[in-house]
């Protein structure tokens, strides 16, 4: 049983997942600090200093903290927007890296073909200036 457990733990997926969780919690702290310490004070200033935490509704002796709920919704929307911007920036960086040339046009039929092709699969023409640029 110990051997099986050791195999399970040493699989790449488990280690990748653990690293992802650790990085996620560290990243969460950064985003939370950005929202709580930078963006929420700006929003509070724009709303004329209204402190939503003070909004409470008393029903039958129970206190419903509506203000905390409103703050949680605002925080969620801000965090979601910040995450969207971060993911969008990362994706645009990856797209720039992925723009590797893998095709070319056949000079005879103008069809798009693999960069390594020495003969066009569409018109079967032999490509004269063939070179293995990727090899």
Structure tokens at 59: 């029903």
Indicate the Cα dihedral angle 80, 30, 89, 91, nearest 10°.
-80
pLDDT confidence bin for 124, thresholds 50/70/90: confident
Position 21 scores a pLDDT of 92
pLDDT for the residue numbered 132: 45
| pLDDT above 60: residue 37 | yes
Strand intervals (E) in 65-114: 103-105, 112-114
Share of the chain above pLDDT 70, in %: 88
The pLDDT, as a whole number, for residue 22 is 92
What is the rounded average pLDDT of the residues 29-38?
Answer: 83
* Mean pLDDT computed over 35-41: 81
- pTM, whole model, 2 decimals? 0.48
* Token code pair at residue 125: 């023409």
* Mean confidence (pLDDT) of the chain: 80
Q: What pLDDT is recorded for position 135? A: 40
Length of the chain equals 135
């Amino acid at each position: 049983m110990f051997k099986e457990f050791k195999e399970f733990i040493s699989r790449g997926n488990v280690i990748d997942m653990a690293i992802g969780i650790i990085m996620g919690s560290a990243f969460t702290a950064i985003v939370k600090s950005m929202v709580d310490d930078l963006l929420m004070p700006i929003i509070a200033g724009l709303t004329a200093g209204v402190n939503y935490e003070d909004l409470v509704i008393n029903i039958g002796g129970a206190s419903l903290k509506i203000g905390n709920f409103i703050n949680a919704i605002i925080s969620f929307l801000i965090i979601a927007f910040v995450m969207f911007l971060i993911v969008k920036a990362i994706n645009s960086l990856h797209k720039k890296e992925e723009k590797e040339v893998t095709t070319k046009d056949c000079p005879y039929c103008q069809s798009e073909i693999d960069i390594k092709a020495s003969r066009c699969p569409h018109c079967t023409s032999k490509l004269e200036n063939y070179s293995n640029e990727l090899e």
